[in-house]
Structure 1
Amino acid sequence: MTIHEFGTENTEIILLIHPSVVKWDYFENVIPLLEKKYHLLVPALPGYDFDNDSDFTSVEQIASDLNVWMKAQGYTELYAVYGCSMGGSVALLVALGQLIKIKHCVMDGGITPYQLPWIVTRFIALKDYLMMMIGRTGGVGLLEKAFATDEYTKEDLQYVADVLRHCSRKTLWRTFDSCNNYKVPDPVPAIDTKLHYWYTNGEEKERKQDIAYIKSKFPQTEFTVLPELGHAGLVLLKPELFEQMISELSD
């Protein structure tokens, strides 16, 4: 897994983990804002790296690989790990891994494992997988209908269509299967990391299960409601607000 680094002269370190169906350059609008103050680690996740032909592994494996890599590099502390959607799942497990000290963990619309019978989760993963396969075949026209209520441009949707065409069937299946069913340690380990869960105004219904899970497992979590930006829209549509919120985590 390739880890892109920016602002290496800075002391405080942030790990930025992208959602599914995008590449690491999902963060291209916020990197110039954050690298002035922070040392940024931006992994190109397996299966979504156009320069590497690997397939997606699992949420657990990627979190473990990131922790091992950071430890091997000699990093002893992160200011924050941020992950959006699928990236939020990875961010949570990175924080729970406890290989290095992490001050803040931000799950932006982060996905939590379903608390449902195994067979039901198979059908949900299959539905999500088939939707992505249809999107890959239908291209921008179909994606425009699917994202009609969100504030994405045609260029944004073309980007998603290009990524979908790059992704293997194995990557798409493993992505949704793993996000729906990854294992959180039980019992949950005690951690010093401050947990944050962000979601957009209007996303409450879609994130209802995730919010309930986080409140149940991690009652100390701080919840923040974002403007109406659509799922995963903060980084893309409001980079200055994102930079401000990240910088104010410790306030």
Structure 2
Amino acid sequence: MKFYQFGNEKNPVIFLFPGTCCHWKINFKKHIPLLQEKFNVIAVSYDGFDETEDTIFVDMITETEKIEAYIKEQFKGNIFAAYGCSLGGSFVSLLVGRKNIHIEHAIIGSSDMDQNGKFIAKIETFIVVKLFYTLIQEGKIPKILQHRIDKAPPEKKEYYNCFMSIFTNNGEGLSFIKKESIRNQFYSDLITPVGEGIDVEGTTIHVFYATKMGKEYEKRYLKHFAKPDISRHDYEHEQLFFQYPEKWYQEILRVCEMK
């Protein structure tokens, strides 16, 4: 696991957690230049997803423990903010709920917060690995996904292409990512409980809720968090983040009360 720092170290600290099977630099390439003007930015690079290491992503708890240890060592266990993109929202939830470190502003992207039993999780993981491995390794979009993109209306096609580019690395692929890391990350996220009714004194949990995902996702947020500050956006999953980084940045400033 690696931690990459940007901006003035004297500024408030914000941690950035990438999404499923994402490389930190590709995930946050449009966002770090914006954030580093006002924040001390720390981008987390998970085990198995960094080209400078020969590591494997083991499971969510192992990664969380490493993140907690780093925050304790470098920031005495307290940070100003954290943003979890998609799967990264699970990490933010775990960090808050475990109470081993403290986050003042815990920001959940439009995370799906999927939870399943081991049997269903294994089936879903098998399907995802079949689709994602070639996509990530070679940067080639599977025909079944490309067909869906081609049939989409123009406004959705732009979103799909923007979203898929983070996995394909603009067609170059990420050949260093092993199938085992993809499998372990997806599977362990599905079977690792993030908790219910999470409520920590001194922590505000902000949720960027993409309403086009469906009402069931808002119900999940209300289940997992006791008093979430929900910001509703008429977008698809992480569309605000990937397609409109400037708007996303303004939302970060707003919820962190820095405008």
- The within-5 A match list for 1:60-99 is 60-99=61-100
Distance 2:103 2:221 in 1: 18
Amino acid in structure 2 at the alignment position of 1:144 = Q
Instruction: Give a deviation string over 1:208-243, Cα, whole Å, max 9, x none.
Output: 3x4323212323112222243x43333332121111
Amino acid in structure 1 at the alignment position of 2:5 = E
Q: CA RMSD in A?
A: 2.7
SS at match of 2:10: coil
Distance 1:46 1:157, change over 3 A: closer
Per the TM alignment, residue 120 of structure 1 is displaced from its structure 2 partner at its CA by: 2.3
Aligned partner of 1:217 in structure 2 is 224
Aligned partner of 1:118 in structure 2 is 118
Distance 1:73 1:117, change over 3 A: closer
Aligned partner of 2:153 in structure 1 is none
Instruction: Report percent identity of matched pairs.
Output: 20
**Alignment coverage as a number of residue pairs:** 246
Equivalent in 186, 194, 206 of residue 184 of structure 1: 194
Distance 1:187 1:108 in 2: 18
Is 1:13–1:77's contact at 8 Å kept on the other side of the alignment?
no
TM-score (norm 1): 0.85
Query: Which runs of no fewer than 5 residues in structure 1 stay unpaired?
Result: none
Distance 1:161 1:178 in 2: 28
Is 2:209–2:231's contact at 8 Å kept on the other side of the alignment?
yes
Which deviates more, 48-57 or 135-144?
135-144
Amino acid in structure 1 at the alignment position of 2:21 = V
Aligned partner of 2:248 in structure 1 is 242
TM-score (norm 2): 0.82
Query: Which runs of no fewer than 5 residues in structure 2 stay unpaired?
Result: 151-155
- The within-5 A match list for 1:94-173 is 94-114=95-115, 116-133=116-133, 135-136=135-136, 139-140=140-141, 142=143, 143-148=145-150, 149-150=156-157, 151=159, 152-153=161-162, 158-159=168-169, 162-163=172-173, 165-173=175-183
Distance 1:156 1:117 in 2: 28
Distance 1:190 1:76, change over 3 A: closer
Instruction: Give a deviation string over 1:21-78, Cα, whole Å, max 9, x none.
Output: 3211111211111111111110111121122221112222212211111101134432
Amino acid in structure 1 at the alignment position of 2:146 = E
Distance 1:233 1:50 in 2: 27
